[in-house]
Structure 1
Amino acid sequence: MRLSQLLKAKLHHARVTYANPEYVGSIEIGADLMDRVGIQDGELVHVWAVDHESRIQTYAFAGPPGVVGLNGGAAHFFQTGDRVIIAAFDLSDAPILPKIVLLDEENRVVRDMTPFSVVG
């Protein structure tokens, strides 16, 4: 058995709504978006800038709809209005069907990009 780290969830083109370096740390994401793609409170996520070079890892926690906020040290890498990709991965020995959504400027889902199947 060989485990692979496979994409399980992706929020594509989320907009940072705030950056607060005074908070202890992590990324706050609207609970509706976390539920939609299966990201759990406390789960490790990757956050990749779309328009510059920042890439970090932190843990996610649920917030109100529309919120994508970077806290603590993570806030130094992003600014309000930045477009980011938020991704979560799972270890698996079987194919995973990743849940992927494209967001608009208000962090609302505009398109479900989840593939119909995974070739294994």
Structure 2
Amino acid sequence: MYRTLLKSKIHRVKTTHCELHYEGSCAIDEDLLEAANICENEQVHIWNVDNGERFVTYAIKGQRGSGMISVNGSAARRACVGDLLIIAAFAQVAEADVAAHQPQLVFVNDQNRQVELRHHVPTQAL
């Protein structure tokens, strides 16, 4: 049996561009792609913190070091420049490997520059 687990997350990045007529779905600064272990053309889930929209698309490379998060094509209708997004990717993990699995969780500052890397989500308390 396999379980679908969180593999990668870029937490609360700011949308820098929305390009309705650009080919490609979500351009992400290459530094962030590498930090999160997301490859070009990989399926990503995007959750818009500001408006509640959730959609699935794929990642393309954005200019390295630019902080770029460009939501493109029809997905551009689901975000506005300045919106905070969570970008996630998932993996199929064999049951025997579930306990050892550690996701790449990338946290950024207000310029979309990585400031922290974690490998677990803390337990939520009341």
Q: TM-score, normalised by structure 2?
A: 0.87
- 1:107 alignment partner, one of 103, 107, 112: 112
* Deviation of the 1:4 alpha carbon: 0.8
Give 1:83's aligned amino acid: L
Deviations 1:64-89 (A, max 9, x none): 12100000000000000100000000
Equivalences for residues 51-90 of structure 1 within 5 A: 51-64=50-63, 65=65, 66-90=67-91
Residue 37 (structure 1) shift: 1.2
- Alpha-carbon separation, structure 2, partners of 1:97 and 1:76: 33
What is the percent sequence identity of the aligned residues? Answer: 36
2: CA distance between counterparts of 1:101 and 1:81? Answer: 19
Matches of 1:113 and 1:52 in 2, distance apart?
A: 26
* CA positional deviation for 1:113: 2.5
Q: Provide the secondary structure at the position in 2 that maps to 1:97.
A: coil
Extract unaligned runs of 5+ from structure 2. 121-126
Give structure 1 regions of 4+ aligned residues with deviation exceeding 4 angstroms.
Answer: none
Aligned residues: 115
Q: Distance in 2 between matches of 1:112 and 1:70?
A: 23
1:1-120 to structure 2, matched below 5 A, reads 2-64=1-63, 65=65, 66-93=67-94, 94-95=97-98, 96-115=101-120
In 1, the alpha carbon distance for the partners of 2:86 and 2:111 equals 14
| Cα deviation, residue 3, structure 1 | 0.7
Unaligned runs of 5+ in 1: 116-120
Residue pair 2:44, 2:89 contacting (<8 A) in 1 also: yes
Aligned partner letter, 1:59 = Y
Give the Cα separation in 2 of the matches to 1:101 and 1:36.
Answer: 7
